[in-house]
Structure 1
Amino acid sequence: MRAGYGMLYLVFLLREFPHRHEIWGPGSPWTPALAEQLFGQTGWNSILTLSDSPAYFELCYVTALFTSALFMLGWRTRAVSVLFAVVVTSFHARAIFMTDGGDNLILLMAIYLVFTACGRRWSLDARRNRLKTARAGSGPASVRRFPSPQLRDARNTLTTVVHNCGIFVMAAEVCFLYGSAGLYKVQGASWGAGTALHYVLNLELFQPWPAISHLADDHAVLIAIASYGTVLLQVAFPFVLFGRLKYPVLGMLLGMHVCIAVVMGLPLFSGAMIVADAVFLPDRFYTSLGHLCRRAAQRTGALRPAPGQPGPGSVPPQGRTRLPDPRQRAASPRA
């Protein structure tokens, strides 16, 4: 989730780079003075309104780009996660009328990720810790950070509890999102009649490729099935999380979000939802995914062990190397 949301926000800032002055800059129609007035009512705040200088805005934008990239890579995650949450909050509050559901979800997840240990795996922090452990194992014993084992155990327990609470809140957020969206759709007459997607496909705002929208709209039966299926998936999602139905439902939701991104032109919203759904995948899924990638790399020849090094599937010889007995060496015939 850390890598996903960091990458999404980095791509988002890069995509809007030519239009940054019109959206968040001092020359935006929604001026900093208007934003300050809205902050007094909503309680939001933004670092972008601290100065009207164009140079200050450019500095903030470059900082946001680097922060998103570092958060995606997992460099000094504890500090960068806080900075990433500040960046997302500031850009969201500065032009709140330019946001949609995807921006709201990224904002919430950026805040929740601050309380998680999201740099423990697949990050530069994890790589640095592995190298540090390898060096400590081959060199002299390093000085412990905590002089007392009780303090170290208390720190680990607190980190685990806060991390698990953050994951639970993110999972509950996704459940509330899907459940409320499905129940809200049930109240609409067009969703009950199976014609809601017909009207969506004929809105010019959601027609990046009109030919695809018109082609999909020509199949009335498929439109009705997709409408009812969308409502059923969203309402049933919170109730299938503790059974085997979770995985096919997650697969169908993935397909639904891909269709939304392509047909309706909402890649940021779809990407935010896909990354949020990843919180329900267990650790063994990512472990098996890593094994599959390594096997595929070995089959294609992209990953081969170095000469003299054991492959990933072989076990190196265990124990200490035994030296030949001096008596046997003396008794052995000479060439």
Structure 2
Amino acid sequence: MPVRIGTLLTLLLERPISLYAAAVLRIGYGFLYLAFLLREFPHRNEIWGPGSPWTPALARQLFDQTGWASILTLSDSRAYFEVCYTAALVISALFMLGWRTRAVSVLFAVVVTSFHARAIYMTDGGDTLILLMVLYLVVTACGRRWSLDARRTRLRASAGKTVRPPLDRASGELRRHLRDARLTVITVLHNCGMLVIAAQVCFLYGSAGLYKVQGAAWGNGTALHYALNLDVFQPWPGLSAVADEHDVLLAIACYLTVLLQVAFPFVLFGRLKYPVLAMLLGMHVGIAVFLGLPLFSGAMIVADAAFLPDRFYRSLGRLWRRTVRGSGSGGTADECRAPRALVPAQSERAG
């Protein structure tokens, strides 16, 4: 037991976990929210702006009771709202690209929280999941891979470090200790953030599966039949009607959904998780197509990506370089071979 505890402490304090998965979460949620804001751009004033039926004054009254806050309610001016919306688009794009990620991740969390709180009665499970995930990503080193920060660090390393004036022994020791302490804090925060993200997804799947088990519609395999016949969940009524004709397949899909969700937390430490993740991917694609919930499905698919190991993403990177840039190019090979003992700051200035 002491050996296991020591191994866990070493993993928590010295070795960053799932750096590529954190990058995928950053790219995925940044892209989803950017696409979401662009999609609702023609209706932005009616949803979040001064022209919304849920006026800023009503929102502020609700905040007094719930404790929420939003930068969108600081002013009733249409010009102020347009500036905030434009800034939200820019911040989402920068977060997705990984530019000054340490600081931009905080701004992105403020953006998501503000838009979520401003139209709280129009949100669903997908909005809530994105909100939770971007809050967790603030403490992770999600800009260390596949980002502009990583590219800048790589170029700086290849160009050679700036020669600094020599320091006396005491100053050098102090600087080294401070640097080591800073890297340890970053490592611990990153690892804790990724573990919390994993626990959040496990709790989500487990609780959803156990909740479904208690329902008669899921027990007799008719839940999807009723969902396909709700007008609010019919983006393509013809497609829903065709799917509803296959009673046996719908019943199998019901039972398989419950089984996957309940079993998910118990298959994460074996190879069985890969077929489970593949089936969950198919399930979420089906929810997006048949039930018209693309944001929710996208948020869940991105969350599931946290459980794929870094070697999987490194193999994707190598495949990308071979197919798009050619086997002789690409600048991330050194990054893949870099030591993983510590999580460096995301940039020398902003880390």
Cα displacement (A) at 1:11: 0.2
SS of the equivalent of 2:160 reads helix
Q: Is it true that 1:98 corresponds to 2:126 in the alignment?
A: no
1:3–1:144 CA distance, 2 compared to 1 (3 A) = farther
- After TM superposition, the score normalised by the length of structure 1 is 0.87
Cα distance change, pair 268–144 in 1 and its aligned pair in 2 (3 A): farther
Q: Report sequence identity in percent.
A: 75
Deviation at 1:143, TM superposition (A): 6.4
How far residue 166 of structure 1 moved from its aligned partner, in angstroms, is 0.3
Name the CA distance, whole Å, in 1 between partners of 2:300 and 2:164: 43
Confirm whether residue 59 of structure 1 aligns to residue 83 of structure 2. Answer: yes
Q: Is the 8 A contact 1:81 1:113 kept in 2?
A: yes
Residue correspondence of structure 1 range 146-157 to structure 2 within 5 A: 147=172, 148-157=175-184
Whole-Å separation in 1 of the counterparts to 2:101 and 2:229: 44
CA RMSD after TM alignment: 1.8
Deviation at 1:104, TM superposition (A): 0.1
2:326 alignment counterpart: 303
In structure 1, the gaps of 5 or more residues are 307-311, 313-335
The Cα of 1:142 is off from its aligned counterpart by 4.5
Maintained 8 Å contact 1:136/1:142: no
Cα deviation digits, residues 262-312 of structure 1 (max 9, x gap): 111111000000000111111001011112222333xxxx63648xxxxx9
Other-structure match for 1:194: 221
1:260 is aligned to 2:283: no
Relative contact order: is structure 1 or structure 2 higher (C-alpha 8 Å, sep ≥ 6)?
A: 2
Q: Whose radius of gyration is greater, 1 or 2?
A: 1
Q: 1:237·1:249 contact (CA, 8 Å) conserved in 2?
A: yes
Cα distance in 2 for partners of 1:295, 1:46 equals 45
Return the match for 1:293 from 317, 320, 330.
Answer: 320
Q: Which SS does the other structure have where 1:25 is aligned?
A: coil
Contact 1:191 1:228 in 2 (8 A): yes
* 1:26-61 deviation per Cα after TM superposition (whole angstroms, max 9, x unaligned): 010001111111111111000000000000000000
Number of residue-to-residue matches in the alignment: 302
Q: How does 1:215-294 map to 2 (within 5 A)?
A: 215-294=242-321
Amino acid at match of 1:199: Y
Distance 1:106 1:305, change over 3 A: same
Matches within 5 A, 1:29-178: 29-136=53-160, 141-142=163-164, 147=172, 148-178=175-205
Structure 1 distance, partners of 2:164, 2:102, is 23
Shift of 1:134: 1.1
List per-residue Cα deviations over 1:136-162 (Å, max 9, x = no partner).
16xx53569994211111111110000
State the one-letter code of the partner of 1:217. D
The amino acid that maps onto 2:289 is V
TM-score by length of 2: 0.83
